[in-house]
Amino acid sequence: MPITEVEKIWMDGKLVDWKDAQIHVLTHGLHYGSGVFEGIRAYQTSGGPAIFRLEDHIERLFNSAKVYMIDIPFTKRQLIDATKEVVRVNKLDSCYIRPIVYLGYGEMGLNPLPCSVNVAIAAWPWGTYLGEEGLEKGVSVKISSWQRHDPNAVPPAAKATGMYLNSSMAKVEALKANYDEAILLSPQGYVSECTGENVFIVHGGKILTPPATAGALEGITKDSVMTIAGDLGYQASEANILRSDLYLADEMFLTGTAAEVVPIRSVDDRVIGEGKPGPITKAIQANYFGAVRGELSQYKEWLDFVN
């Protein structure tokens, strides 16, 4: 999806012009995928733009960095304030925000420990990741021939840049075969997640999603959706899910900051339910959008107002 340029990007403590936010070609992160990042969204609310679960995203960024022994040279508070500043100075209301921590220029080789650590935060207006039609009518997915990482190969708890080669291959395979998205299985054969989203099924009124042990990222949208589902009176829990459980689900959807809450209408050409968004999916989707847009007072603590 194309990026819409705005004015400023925050780089290592300073706001720089968009076109000046450049790095050297020998940057470590470019060669070895040595970086961790976040995807965050801000939404327009009646109180002005609000960033959804900002503290939780920054917390996860620091956790990702810890896994890779990357020392972020800023405090959580500094990055929270910087994220708000980026949205504010670019006069954005709803936008996507991309903080990235990466190993910088000056050292080459696989030992990351002597490398400099750089931090950047960019934001731009970005439509929903899988398209408006997908959001409304649902998307088609394919089980990928690519497997999700083994936790002892690439830890799924850390949102690291390098791990996305796996997602990209699964995405390309799905698109080339005319599906919208892919679902990857864990090395043990359980359902893990989509290329950049967590996955949920609804079966007999119960809502299930794979655990981190199946290679799923600890999604913040996933966590929000589980809370919302509980508040709506549904039982939502983590469980190992088989490929055939997907085929036989009554409803299915995926969740992610970029994608938001998107119904799934088919898996490997098996139609899910009636092939259109089911009632539980629709209720959760509506409440998620209500929450991020500040329309539901019970979720106000998830919002960080920019002004």
Which residue in 10, 34, 35, 39 binds ligand PPE (CB under 6 A)?
39
What is the end-to-end Cα distance of the chain in Å, rounded? 28
Euclidean distance between CA atoms 161 and 36, whole angstroms: 6
What b/e sequence results for 86-118 when a residue is b if at least 16 CB atoms lie within 10 Å of its CB, and e otherwise? Answer: bbbebebebbbbbbbbbbbbeeeeeebeebebb
Under the binding rule (CB under 6 A), the answer on residue 217 touching ligand PPE is yes
Euclidean distance between CA atoms 144 and 147, whole angstroms: 7
Asked whether the beta carbons of 220 and 53 are under 8 A apart, the reply is yes
Which residue in 257, 281, 285, 287 binds ligand PPE (CB under 6 A)?
257
- For residue 236 the two structure tokens come to 């939502």
Residue 282 has, within 13 A of its CA and on its CB side, a CA count of 8
Q: What dihedral do alpha carbons 127, 131, 136, 139 form, nearest 10°?
A: -140
Which residues, at least 6 apart from 27, have a Cβ–Cβ distance to it below 8 Å? 102, 103, 104, 105
Euclidean distance between CA atoms 23 and 101, whole angstroms: 13
Residue with smaller CB distance to ligand PPE, 115 or 182: 182
- Please, which of residues 8-37 interact with ligand PPE by CB under 6 A? none
Residue with smaller CB distance to ligand PPE, 107 or 238: 238
CB of 41 to ligand PPE, least distance (A): 8
CB of 189 to ligand PPE, least distance (A): 18
User: Backbone phi, then psi, for 72, in 5-degree steps?
Assistant: -75, 125
3-class secondary structure, 70: coil
Residue with smaller CB distance to ligand PPE, 215 or 294: 215
Stretch that binds ligand PPE, among 62-70, 118-126, 191-199, 238-246 (CB under 6 A): 191-199
Under the binding rule (CB under 6 A), the answer on residue 148 touching ligand PPE is no
Euclidean distance between CA atoms 189 and 150, whole angstroms: 11
Residue with smaller CB distance to ligand PPE, 191 or 217: 217
CB of 277 to ligand PPE, least distance (A): 19
Under the binding rule (CB under 6 A), the answer on residue 256 touching ligand PPE is yes
CB of 71 to ligand PPE, least distance (A): 23
Under the binding rule (CB under 6 A), the answer on residue 196 touching ligand PPE is yes
Which residue in 101, 191, 258, 264 binds ligand PPE (CB under 6 A)?
258
3-class secondary structure, 237: strand
Which residue in 27, 198, 285, 287 binds ligand PPE (CB under 6 A)?
198
Strand bridging mode 235-238 / 206-209: parallel
Stretch that binds ligand PPE, among 83-91, 131-139, 213-221, 237-245 (CB under 6 A): 213-221
Stretch that binds ligand PPE, among 61-69, 200-208, 218-226, 269-277 (CB under 6 A): 218-226
Under the binding rule (CB under 6 A), the answer on residue 278 touching ligand PPE is no
Catalytic residues: 159
Asked whether the beta carbons of 278 and 251 are under 8 A apart, the reply is yes
CB of 99 to ligand PPE, least distance (A): 11
CB of 211 to ligand PPE, least distance (A): 13
Residue with smaller CB distance to ligand PPE, 134 or 196: 196
Residues in the site for ligand PPE, rule: CB under 6 A? 39, 167, 193, 196-198, 217, 219-222, 255-259
